[in-house]
Amino acid sequence: MTRIAVIEKEKCHPMACGGYLCIRVCPVNRTGQDCIVKGEDTKASINTEFCTGCGICPKKCPFDAIHIVNLPEALEKDPIHRYGENGFHLYSLPTPMFGKVVGVLGVNGIGKSTAIKILAGVMNPNLGKEKEDEAGYDELIRYFKGTEAQNFFEKVRDGKIRISYKPQQVELIPKSFNGNVRELLSKVDEKGSMEEIADLLDLREFLETDISKISGGELQRVAIAATVLKDANMYIFDEPTSFLDIKQRIKVSKFIRKLADEDTAVIVVEHDLIILDFMADLVNIMYGEKGAYGIVSLPKPTKAGINVFLEGYLKEDNIRFRDSQIKFSPRQAGKDVEKPALISWKGISKRMGDFHLSAEQGELKKRDVCGILGENGIGKTTFARILAGVVEKDSGEMDDTIKVSYKPQYLESESEEPVASYLQDAVVKFENQLIRPLNLNNLFDKKLSELSGGELQKVSIARCLSQDADLYLLDEPSAYLDVEQRLLISKIMRDIMEVNLKSCLVVDHDLLFIDYLSDDIIVFDGEPAKHGEVKGPFPMSDGMNSFLSGLNITMRRDAESNRPRINKPESQMDRKQKSEGKLYYS
Ligand code: SF4
Ligand code: SF4
């Protein structure tokens, strides 16, 4: 059996564990052999030749930095890429296919971005050797002999495949480009189709705006436009819908779908399962062990692939990659027990520059988790801030005696404060409900400014939920989190509201996440940047019906997994549901 030892270097703190605790407890070291040693970077380093796989050091390390993994037998080969000694191992790659959109689905830290960077040619794999020893195309072709990937890399080597790639972190674009949107797109426009793409992706209104001044959603669309303006026959998109609202997500999905034809292959990494389902023909599931190793499954039809992912079990390989199944329960209308009221409002009006927000009559109940749906720029955050008392309303009635804890949409922290002190309240009050399930102890020694997007999101959610308040407002808590983390957060939020008799408002664009966590729904109608109308809260199915009518789509539940799916436009189900006026099957 092949065994790998991985040490997550950023988690290894040799002094904080009492001075190389792993070295002291390793039975092989105790016999005098150098199984675990102090590495040149001062972190622990494991020599796999000596390691017996006894499993003691991963259990003892207080920071969860060590993984000793017995690999499935099929993996008794060198990895495609290894991040240095005791680093993450990647064992296979997704399969690009001409005429198809191939999705890549997996949790964070499982190697998705590494895999597609290798496919995109922006990162050279080292076939498990030292970092400097990067493999050329001929070596890669030999490594993949007899597989689809051999064919693929031969074509790349011979210039028959030209690749264009949209990286994950679009927020870094303004750091590397000075100028407006038009200037950026003109620079990369190899096809001469900038005007057409600008219309298709709704860029017209901000073409002359400086790149540093546009919003996250606008930046995402500019990055997608820049990718497709390159003359390529394979397009790779790493998380193309982050920062986009649902209307834009659907628009972008349709746009990406249309790119795939018999001469063009498309690969997409996406965490929004409803959108991935809508956009992709096939999916590759990535599994393994977070931070340790990643494997890519063979491609599967999207519907089946997503269900396999939710189940956590690959039947053909007999591999269970998650202990438990992710389940969606059918909703039971009218089963709710009557809940006491928390806050009500009536006829709220607020003008901010050219934008006007109005809210009809509405009421939130205690123990309620209420989802908020609507486009970007339509006043969701403003309404949340009015309820929070951070923004004053112009007119209308509101019970303003409640205390509100708020997590904003954009999280940026330059603070030097350590996570442990920032999360003091959560440690004292919610050790079992927040700190442990979200694995936040591992971040305690880090400063807020050192956290990744996903880490900062989890820390901010925990901080918000641990404050003493009646109502918790969370704006886009799903951003930067993978599917498993999103569903875990949903469960945590629901439990905390239920046990502590509190209420929660969640603004988010991931419909599956909203479906999973919400008791009811507030819908925002109107026109972005001009006016917004707050409607509801409605029961889930009424709210979704009202929201979907503005998008011209219908949704049903998957018979096998019960997860919500968008019907293919003009399919039998789509037409049936539209004729019945039931746009959402709950
Ligand atoms: Fe200490 Fe864990 Fe690092 Fe070993 S891996 S030195 S136990 S922090
Ligand atoms: Fe030592 Fe390997 Fe056991 Fe860790 S798993 S204590 S490195 S023998």
Report pLDDT digits (tens) over 132-187. 567 788 888 988 888 878 888 899 889 899 999 998 888 888 888 999 999 999 99
Which numbered atom of ligand 2 lies nearest the CA of 53? 5
Are 449 and 413 spatial neighbours (Cβ–Cβ below 8 Å)? yes
Is residue 499, in this structure, part of any structural domain at all? yes
Indicate whether residue 6 lines ligand 1 (CB < 6 A).
Answer: no
Q: Which of 28, 50, 61 to mutate to test the pocket of ligand 2 (most atoms within 8 A of CB)?
A: 28
Measure Cα distances from 294 to 78, 111, 561 in Å.
Answer: 13, 6, 25
- Rounded CA-CA distance 480/463 in Å is 17
The CB of 6 under 6 Å from ligand 2? The reply is no
CA-wise closest residue to 286 among 265, 275, 300: 300
Closest by CA position to 485, among listed 108, 63, 110: 108
One domain for residues 418 and 477:
yes
C-alpha 72 to ligand 2 mean position (Å): 19
User: What CATH code is carried by the domain that includes residue 140?
Assistant: 3.40.50.300
Of 28, 47, 70, which residue sits at a domain end?
Answer: 70
Answer whether 564's CB lies under 8 Å from 555's CB. yes
Are 151 and 50 in a shared domain? no
The DSSP bridge pattern shows strands 555-557 and 564-566 to be antiparallel
Phi, psi torsion values for 422, nearest 5 degrees: -65, -35
Neighbours of 11 (CB within 10 A): 18
- Please give the pLDDT value at position 196: 96
Report the atom number in ligand 1 closest to the C-alpha of 18: 1
Which ligand neighbours the alpha carbon of 29 most closely? 2
Taken as a whole, the chain contains a residue count of: 586
What is the distance in A from the centroid of ligand 2 to the CA of 376?
51
| Judgement on whether residues 389 and 509 belong to the same structural domain of the protein | yes
* Predicted local confidence at residue 143, as pLDDT: 87
Q: Residue 510 burial (CB < 10 Å; 0-12/13-18/19+)? A: buried
Per-residue pLDDT at 130: 67
Does residue 368 fall inside a structural domain?
A: yes
Classify residue 210: in a domain, yes or no: no
* Count of domains forming the chain: 4
Q: Are residues 565 and 527 in the same domain?
A: no
11 part of a folded domain: yes
428 part of a folded domain: yes
Cα separation, 36 vs 44, in Å, equals 7
**What number does the ligand 2 atom closest to the CA of 58 have?**
4
Q: 286 and 428: one domain?
A: no
The residue contributing the CA closest to ligand 1 atom 5 is: 12
Q: What pLDDT sits at residue 6?
A: 86
User: Is residue 167 in a domain?
Assistant: no
The residues with which 475 forms a beta bridge, in sequence order, are 507
The reply to whether 359 and 460 lie within a common domain is yes
For residues 262 and 100, the answer to whether their CB atoms sit within 8 Å is: no
For ligand 2, atom 1, name the residue with the nearest CA: 26
| Residues 510 and 408 both lie in one domain | yes
Same domain, 66 and 139: no
Q: Are residue 517 and residue 384 in the same domain, yes or no? A: yes
* Interval between CA 74 and ligand 1 midpoint (Å): 30
Please check whether residue 317 lies inside any domain of the structure: yes
> Is 66 close to ligand 1, i.e. is its CB under 6 Å away?
yes
Separation CA 412–CA 423 (nearest Å): 16
- Provide the domain limits for residue 113: 71-162+266-324
Query: Hey, whose CA ends up nearest to atom 8 of ligand 2?
Result: 51
Low-confidence ranges of the chain (pLDDT < 70): 1-2, 72-76, 130-133, 330-337, 400-401
Q: Which residues contact 513 (CB under 8 A, 6 or more apart)?
A: 478, 486, 487, 490
Residue 505 is assigned to a structural domain of this protein = yes
pLDDT at 437: 92
Residue 581 token pair:
């006026």
Reference 110, options 531, 463, 482; nearest CA is 482
* Residue 21 beta carbon below 6 angstroms from any ligand 1 atom: yes
Q: Provide the CATH number for the domain around residue 25.
A: 3.30.70.20
469 with 584, same domain? Answer: no
Distance 86 CA to ligand 1 centre (A): 13
Is the CB of residue 260 less than 8 Å from the CB of residue 268? Answer: no
pLDDT for res 276: 97
Residue 571, Ramachandran bin (φ over 0: left; ψ between -120 and 50: alpha; else beta): beta
User: H or E stretch including 429?
Assistant: helix 424-429
Q: Which of 7, 56, 61, 70 is the pocket-test mutation for ligand 2 (most atoms within 8 Å of CB)? A: 56
From residue 376, give the alpha-carbon distance in Å to each of 215, 217, 382: 10, 8, 11
Q: Is there a single domain that holds both residue 306 and residue 390?
A: no
Give the SS3 label for residue 73: helix
Specify whether 421 is located in the same domain as 562: no
